[in-house]
Copies of this chain bind each other. A is one copy, B any other.
Amino acid sequence: MATIYEVSKLAGVSLATVSRVMNNNKNVSDATREKVTLAMTELGYRPNSIAQSLATNCSNSVGLLVSELHGPFYGPMMSGIENSFRNQGKHVIIAAGHSNAEREQQGIEFLISRNCDGLILHVEAVSDDYLIALSKGPTPFVLLNRLIPALADRCIILNNRKGGYLATQHVLEQGHRDIAYISGPLWKADAKDRLAGHKLALSEYGSRFDESLLYQGDFMEDSGYQGFLQLHRSTTQFSALICANDEMATGAMIAARECGLQLPEQLSIMGYDNVFFTRHVYPPLTTINYPINEMGQMAANWILSKVYNKGEQPTHTLFEPQLVVRQSITKRSS
């Protein structure tokens, strides 16, 4: 691999000049710029980005930590992010945190030790305090889907309470009154917020919240399955089931069908997230849209502007959910 030195020799100029044309410095005459460019192509020269990073103290890389690399939720998020970065010449280094405090922390440290200029973090297990301490460090980061009041300006979140409200409102308006709910793990803020929205809608419509109709899941498919089974066994009847995310809704659908229920006739089911496969389950799942792709892009923007002084300042950090009506909720004529 040719180095800048060989280019300078071939072009008959100094190292500095070659560096200048590489960095589009204005102080180079057209003639020499031409000479240098020629020499570069002749040698098939490519700048060594490592050396550049060392000299400039900027690695042009941003770290992205997500819980899982697979799964319907993270894909679109990473897509939005990679896209924004690549055409700015930044690259993204990925790591998975597996919703586990230790591994999340390892991931973050790994990314930092990799000299990332900035971090985009989708972490669930690590504590607020840890993150606050991290924010005192030299590596800037944004948080996706997590609100820490002390770090509010770097949190890009969804209005989960509103989403929870929207979901329940829709179910209520279709005439359902006996509504079961499978939540996420309630130590996670988003799970809590969604449930809060649910309760709010209930009370606004003069329905009271029934503890025996609540099952706490873990956002994974199987807990939706288990949740339905448990709810179904209990004595309290319900005509609709709201799940705090789509995977659990899917699990619940499978369980319901196994229990002989006709869907959606005998049970209406509601999801949350609007993950791509919700269109494909049967019946197509009514759900709440989570604009994760856009939020990913916004996170990328944040980094681009705060770390690299490129692009516009991110304008909003609070995104709004939307109801997506499909066919898993039927009207209940009472």
Q: Which A residues lie at the B interface, using CB under 8 A?
A: 1, 46-51, 53-54, 59, 61, 68-72, 74-76, 78-79, 82-83, 86, 91-96, 107, 110-115, 138, 250, 253-254, 276-277, 279-282
Contacts and interface: CB of A to CB of B under 8 A. Distances in A.
Contact of A96 (B61, B83, B253, B280): B83
B54 A51 contact: yes
A75 B279 CA distance: 19
Greatest chain B CB density within 10 A among A70, A96, A113 is at A70
Contacts of A59: 50
A136 B74 CA distance: 36
A91 B74 CA distance: 19
Contact of A282 (B49, B78, B82, B282): B282
A50 B47 contact: no
Given A93-B93, A113-B47, A115-B50, A79 B72 contact: no
B82 A91 contact: no
A86 B95 contact: yes
A92 B91 contact: no
Contact of A110 (B1, B48, B86): B86
A75 B82 contact: no
Contacts of A47: 113
B61 A69 contact: no
A54 B50 contact: yes
Contact of A277 (B74, B114, B138, B280): B280
Given A61-B93, A82-B94, A280-B277, A115 B69 contact: no
Given A91-B95, A280-B280, 11 more contacts: A46-B112, A49-B115, A50-B115, A69-B75, A75-B75, A82-B94, A91-B110, A250-B280, A254-B280, A281-B282, A282-B282
Contacts of A54: 48, 50-51, 54
B70 A75 contact: yes
Given A72-B72, A75-B69, A280-B277, A94 B96 contact: no
Contacts of A68: 75, 79
Contact of A70 (B50, B79, B92, B281): B79
A79 B138 CA distance: 29
10 contacts: A46-B112, A51-B54, A68-B75, A74-B75, A86-B96, A86-B107, A91-B95, A92-B93, A280-B281, A281-B281
B95 A82 contact: yes
Contacts of A86: 95-96, 107, 110
A69 B79 CA distance: 5
A48 B115 contact: yes
A76 B82 contact: no
A223 to B, nearest CB: 15
Given A72-B72, A75-B71, A91 B91 contact: no
Nearest to A60: B114
Contacts of A48: 54, 115
